[in-house]
Amino acid sequence: MNIDLQIRNGVSAALKALYSEVLNPDNIQTQLTRKEFDGDLTVVVFPFLRFSKKSPEQTASEIGDYLVNEIDLIVGFNVVKGFLNIVVSPNYWLEVLYANFTDSNFGFTKSTDDSPLVMVEYSSPNTNKPLHLGHIRNNLLGYSVSEILKANGNRVVKTNIVNDRGIHICKSMYAWLKSGKNETPENSGKKGDHLVGEYYVQFDKLYKQEVAGLMEKGMSKEEAEANAPSMKGAREMLLKWEDNDTEVRELWQKMNSWVYSGFDVTYKKLGVDFDKIYYESETYTVGRDEALRGVEEGIFEKHDDGSVWANLENDGLDQKILLRSDGTSVYMTQDIGTAKLRYNDYDISKMVYVVGNEQNYHFQVLSVLLDKLGYEWGKGLFHFSYGMVELPHGKMKSREGTVVDADDLVEGMIEVSKKTSEELGKLDEYSEQEKNEIYRKIALGALKYFILKVDPKKTMLFNPEESIDFNGNTGPFVLYTYARIQSILRKARETNIEWSDKVNNVKPEAKELELIKKINTFPEVVSDAANNFSPAVVANYCYDLVKEFNQFYHEFSILKEENDDIMKFRLQLAQTTALVIAHAMSLLGIECPERM
């Protein structure tokens, strides 16, 4: 039994024996003892004073005496005010190490056919532009949260909703018709999503010129925006699309196919994938029908201009449009339809939307609307709200072309990784193919770690140069420690050292015990990351773990240790550390290179 659970059970039994009080062990918390104090695990006794009616010190001493007498693995304790610091037998930590150093599932819980099914939606791109840095944070968070939920025994379905219709799509189409001259990815050599994105930016420039010209002729800004020829043309195209106009639909399919091919390349670079992709063009009609059903049943209101609205003022919200006066749908309508289709397709226990915090209100409204429409799962929707990514020079704007393109960023990171690695000179003996694969892993590890180590709720500032640093709380630092351990293990194998046998005649040093205790907390870290929907919990644990290992490595020899048992013990310790690093980094979608 885990020592943490033994202690919590023991404290519960102590409270009953000493003070005739019953407390569920789940309500008793332990934590690693702070390094400045003696002990392994600490119990805060202040909550128990209402039972003991004694001082914190006396209460802690009485509970400590009980634990020492009743639990063989507890060999001592000390009290610091209201903190009971418990000393665990070193033999227990040796058993922990030996039990886990070859466990390929350490820290993970396998799912079963009866496990909860969680659907995670992430990415949600528009087909009028390529993926950018903001999308990267979304994709990395969504993929990582999915892996963390899996590691906690859930079945997970990763989904993407592609926003492939609407006025923004028509803007790119309009600009291409006006000035594209039949430019394609094939005849231009441009990646399809990049090509379409250029026409989206071009539309915005044309539109602004037209608005300025109309304002010079005496129109107000509102009048000019409504009467700009380009905007009128895009709106007419949208109406034709909804009327299934053959020419518009064919152009839409052609340009979207360019974008999908481009997206696939970017997703592969980022190492993210999906089990199911939904398309707004296929879901919005379901949402539209739901909105019309809501009107028929008196849930929603139809105004004189034909638009459909939901009055949510009694729910502490405002009025929300669901269908425009021309009958076209809005994002909310699409999300209603997509939600219905998903629950028809899958027996979902929980639906998680990975969407930026600027959409907090949107998901509040969506939950209420689904509930009003009679879907009992509406209130259970979870919006995983995260902060935006900003650059040193400010926010990104797609329509102005001031975004950091995802493909360019990845390639740039690989170049920086290559330059940094070449300066260190550690890869000289490898082939170009091997070097390029290592550069890629370092670059993607740096990018993913830098983004995921930040609390998802916070807005973050992205600095590529900081992320690729081989020192400090960075991906390359973690990966380099993993590669260092693999080098030690390779050298041990080359000299025919065997370390698979259980070691009993070793008394671990304090620094070694600290490393084992840090390893032992990994399952708890995985659980906390799921409960808080926070990959940052895993990333920062990784940093703490590799710091602990490097301190141990600096202080003690492994392969030059003369005592065979101690050498084997330290090899087991190193191998287990590497295993946990690999497990933790896999939850962040990061591959660990065997050499660096």
DSSP for 416-455? HHHHHHHHHT--TTS-HHHHHHHHHHHHHHHHHHHHHTS-
Cα separation, 404 vs 397, in Å, equals 9
Which are the contacts of 574, defined by CB distance < 8 A and separation ≥ 6? 485, 488, 489, 549, 553, 558
| DSSP 8-state symbol, 349 | S
Which residue ranges in the chain fall short of pLDDT 50?
A: 394-401
Let me know if 265 is exposed, middle or buried by CB neighbors in 10 A (0-12, 13-18, 19+): middle
Q: pLDDT tens digit string along 223-251? A: 999 999 999 999 999 989 989 999 999 99
Q: How many CA atoms lie within 13 A of 448 on its CB side?
A: 31
Q: What angle do CA 407, 413, 418 make, to 5 degrees?
A: 130
H helix or E strand, kind and range, residue 240? helix 229-242
Alpha carbon distances (Å) from 195 to 126, 131, 249, 257: 14, 12, 19, 12
Q: Is-contact 368 378, C-beta < 8 A?
A: yes
Which pLDDT value is given to residue 469? 83
Cα separation, 594 vs 28, in Å, equals 41
| DSSP 8-state symbol, 394 | B
Beta-carbon neighbour count of residue 509 at 10 Å?
Answer: 15
Cα separation, 249 vs 350, in Å, equals 35
Cα separation, 189 vs 177, in Å, equals 19
Cα separation, 556 vs 205, in Å, equals 64
Cα separation, 351 vs 382, in Å, equals 6
Which pLDDT value is given to residue 101? 86
Which pLDDT value is given to residue 578? 97
Which pLDDT value is given to residue 393? 59
Which pLDDT value is given to residue 421? 84
Which pLDDT value is given to residue 396? 40
Instruction: Set out the domains of the chain in order of their start, with CATH numbers.
Output: 3-88 (3.30.1360.70), 124-163+275-403 (3.40.50.620), 166-261 (no CATH), 406-587 (1.10.730.10)
Let me know if 582 is exposed, middle or buried by CB neighbors in 10 A (0-12, 13-18, 19+): middle
Return the axis-axis angle of helices 564-587 and 535-555, rounded to nearest 10°.
Answer: 160
Which pLDDT value is given to residue 465? 77
Report the SS3 class of residue 561.
coil
Q: pLDDT tens digit string along 12-25? A: 999 999 999 999 99
Which pLDDT value is given to residue 402? 55
Which pLDDT value is given to residue 591? 97
Cα separation, 33 vs 87, in Å, equals 9
Which pLDDT value is given to residue 398? 44
Which pLDDT value is given to residue 397? 47
Which single residue is written with the structure tokens 């886990």?
100
Which pLDDT value is given to residue 102? 84
